[in-house]
Amino acid sequence: MTAYEDLRAHLRQTAALGEVAGRLGWDQQTVMPRGANDQRAEEMAALEDVLHARRTDPELGDLLDRAEAPDAVGEAILREARRDFTRNTRVPARLASELARVTALSQTAWEEARAKDDVAAFLPWLEQVVALRREEGQAIAQGGDAYDALMQDYEPGTDAAQVGAIFDRMRPRLVALRDRILGAPTPPALQGHFPQDAQLRLAHDLARRFGYDFDRGRIDLAVHPFSSGSGSDVRITTRVAEGDPFNCLYSTLHEVGHATYEQNISPDYALTPLGHGVSMGVHESQSRIYENQLGRSRAFTGWLFGAMQAEFGALNIDNADAFHAAVNRVHQGYIRTESDEVQYNLHIMLRFDLERALIGGTLAPADLEEAWNTRFEADFGYGIDRPAHGVLQDVHWSVGLFGYFPTYALGNIYAACLDKAMRNALPDLDAHLAAGDLGPATDWLAKAVQQHGALRPSVATITQACDGTAPDETALLDGLDRKFAAIYAI
C-alpha cells in the first residue's frame, strides 16, 4: 500500500470512532437514563483518549509528510487532514480528555439548572468549561488570539475581527427595520392547543417533504434540538410546546437542513475529512434556508396553512395571508431559537460579544448573567424575566462550543445568497412550494452545496453555488427589507 492509502485507512478508522462518540452524545441527550450521567462522562473521556491518540499519532504525521494525492479529491483530503493534525497536536491529551469528561457532566448540570432557573448551580460547571476551552484556545493559537483559534473549529479561515466588521455593518439596518416594524400594527398570533402527537405527525411529514431520509435517520425529543451524525446515520431532535406548534415545526425544519446536508454528501467521501459539512456557517446556511427562505416563504406557508387545518382543525387565523404574517410575526421575546428573522442576528451579536469576552478573560463567568441582562435590555428594550429566558437558554456554552455562535449569522448570510441563486435557476419555485413540493429546491441545494461536503473551503463552496458571486450581507438585508415591508405595509 502507498502512504496515501495507509493514511486513508487510518483516517477512516478514526472517523468511525468519532461517529461512535457522537452517538454517545446523541444518546445522552435523548434516551440515556439520568443516573448514567457520571459513567457516561467517563466513557466519553475514555473514547476521547483513544481518538486524541489517533489524531496526534506521530505515524499519522509521517504519513501526511509522505502521502501524495492521486487527484483533486486526494489533495482536499490531505489539506483537511494536515489542518486537523496541526490543530490536534497542539492540544495536550490530558486537556482533550478532561474537556470530554467535564462537558458531558456540564450539559446535564445545565439542563437541571435551566429547568430550575438556578444560575448558581450551573456556575461552577461554566467556570470549568470556560477555563478548559480558554486553555485549549491558547494552546492552539500559540501566542495568537485564543477565541480566533477556537473559531477555526467551526468556521475555518475567519476570525473575530472579520465577523465583528460584518456585524457592525448589519446592526444599523436590522435595528432600523425592527423599529419600523414595531411602529406598525402587529398581526394576530396563532393561538390554541396543539397536541404533541399531532405536532409530531406534521413534523415527520415536513421532514420527508424537505428530503430527510428516515431509512438513515430518526426524530426524537430533546431539551435543545440538534442534529447528529453523518452519512448513513444522521439523527435529529425537536421539541414540543402544545401552545406553540411553530416551535416544533420550524425547529424540525432547521435540523432537517443540517441532516440532509450530511445525508447528501457524496458517499465517496464517507469517513474521510471531506465526509461532513465544510463549516458550521455553510451548515447553518442549509438549516436556515430550509427554515426561513423556504419554510417561511409566502408560497410554502400557504400550503402549511391548509396542512395545519387538516391536522388541528379550524385555527384562530382564517386566511393564508394572515397565517403567513403570523409565521413571520416580529415580536418581543427572549429565546433565540424562537426569534423572528429580523431580530435573530441581534441575538447572535449579543452572544458573540459575551463569549469573546469570556475566552479573552475580560468577563468572568460569575459576571455573565449580569452582563447578559444588561446587554439584552440595551439591545431589545426590555429586561430578562428569568434565567431560562436569558443566560441559561442555550446549550452551547455548557458543552464548550465557544466560537460557534457567529456561524448562525454567517449561515443566514450564506442562505440569502443561495436563495437568490436558486430562484434564478428555478423561476417556477414558488409554484412548487405552494403545492408542498420541496423537491426542486432540495435537489438544487443537494447538487450545488451538499454533495460536495468539505471538498472546497466554505466561502469557495458558497461562491461556486452562487455562480461565482462571493457572499456578503447585502442579499440578506435587502431580502429582509422586501419581505417585511410587504407583510407590515411599511
End-to-end CA distance of the chain: 67
Characterise 332 by phi-psi region: left (phi > 0), alpha (psi -120 to 50), beta (else).
beta
CA neighbor of 371 nearest in space, from 350, 388, 385, 389: 350
Average pLDDT, the chain: 97
**Overall average pLDDT of the 447-453 stretch:** 98
pLDDT of res. 133: 98
pLDDT of res. 223: 87
pLDDT of res. 350: 98
Tell me: pLDDT of 315 over 90.
yes
The answer as to whether 126 is a domain residue is yes
Tell me the per-residue pLDDT of 413-436, one tens digit each, with 9 for 90 and over.
Answer: 999 999 999 999 999 999 999 999
Tell me: pLDDT of 339 over 90.
yes
Q: Total structural domains in the chain?
A: 2
Residues 271 and 376 in one domain: yes
**Structural domain of residue 259, as residue ranges?**
160-488
Determine the Cα–Cα distance for residues 93 and 89; give it in Å rounded to an integer. 9
The answer as to whether 154 is a domain residue is no
- Specify burial of residue 397 (Cβ count, 10 A radius: 0-12, 13-18, 19+): buried
**Overall average pLDDT of the 30-35 stretch:** 93
CB-facing half-sphere around the CA of 422: CA atoms within 13 A: 27
- Specify burial of residue 268 (Cβ count, 10 A radius: 0-12, 13-18, 19+): exposed
Residues 113 and 255 in one domain: no
pLDDT of res. 300: 98
The answer as to whether 90 is a domain residue is yes
Residues 204 and 293 in one domain: yes
Residues 412 and 453 in one domain: yes
pLDDT of res. 335: 94
Tell me the per-residue pLDDT of 116-163, one tens digit each, with 9 for 90 and over.
Answer: 999 999 999 999 999 999 999 999 999 999 999 999 999 999 999 999
One-letter amino acid for residue 55 of the chain? R
pLDDT of res. 369: 98
Residues 135 and 194 in one domain: no
Confidence of residue 209 (pLDDT cuts 50, 70, 90): very high
The answer as to whether 150 is a domain residue is no
Q: Is 255 part of the annotated catalytic residue set?
A: yes
**Overall average pLDDT of the 89-104 stretch:** 96
Tell me the per-residue pLDDT of 353-385, one tens digit each, with 9 for 90 and over.
Answer: 999 999 999 999 999 999 999 999 999 999 999
The answer as to whether 241 is a domain residue is yes
Last residue of a domain, one of 144, 168, 197: 144
Last residue of a domain, one of 144, 174, 203: 144
421-429: long-range pairs with CB below 8 Å, 24+: 421/448, 421/465, 421/466, 421/467, 421/469, 422/448, 424/467, 429/299
**Overall average pLDDT of the 318-323 stretch:** 97
**Overall average pLDDT of the 57-71 stretch:** 97
Tell me: pLDDT of 284 over 90.
yes
Contacts of 403 (CB under 8 A, 6+ apart): 147, 150, 151, 152, 153, 154, 155, 355, 359
| Catalytic residue chosen out of the listed positions 80, 155, 255, 341 | 255
| Collapsed DSSP state (helix, strand, coil) of residue 436 | coil
How large is the angle between the packed helices 341-360 and 474-488, nearest 10 degrees? Answer: 140
Q: Is the whole-model pTM more than 0.85? A: yes
Residues 268 and 346 in one domain: yes
| Collapsed DSSP state (helix, strand, coil) of residue 23 | helix
How large is the angle between the packed helices 298-312 and 245-264, nearest 10 degrees? Answer: 120
**Overall average pLDDT of the 466-487 stretch:** 97
Tell me: pLDDT of 50 over 90.
yes
Confidence of residue 309 (pLDDT cuts 50, 70, 90): very high
Confidence of residue 469 (pLDDT cuts 50, 70, 90): very high
Residues 135 and 183 in one domain: no
Judge contact between 14 and 55, C-beta under 8 A. yes
Residues 190 and 123 in one domain: no
> What CATH number is attached to the domain comprising 362?
1.10.1370.30
The answer as to whether 42 is a domain residue is yes
Q: Which helix (H) or strand (E) holds 227?
A: strand 227-230
The answer as to whether 353 is a domain residue is yes
Residues 212 and 108 in one domain: no
Residues 140 and 229 in one domain: no
pLDDT of res. 213: 98
The answer as to whether 152 is a domain residue is no
Determine the Cα–Cα distance for residues 421 and 450; give it in Å rounded to an integer. 15
pLDDT of res. 148: 98
Last residue of a domain, one of 97, 119, 144: 144
pLDDT of res. 224: 84
**Overall average pLDDT of the 8-29 stretch:** 96
Share of the chain above pLDDT 70, in %: 100
Residues 292 and 325 in one domain: yes
Residues 251 and 293 in one domain: yes
Determine the Cα–Cα distance for residues 136 and 130; give it in Å rounded to an integer. 10
CA distances from 309 to 189, 291, 305, 373 (A): 15, 20, 6, 39
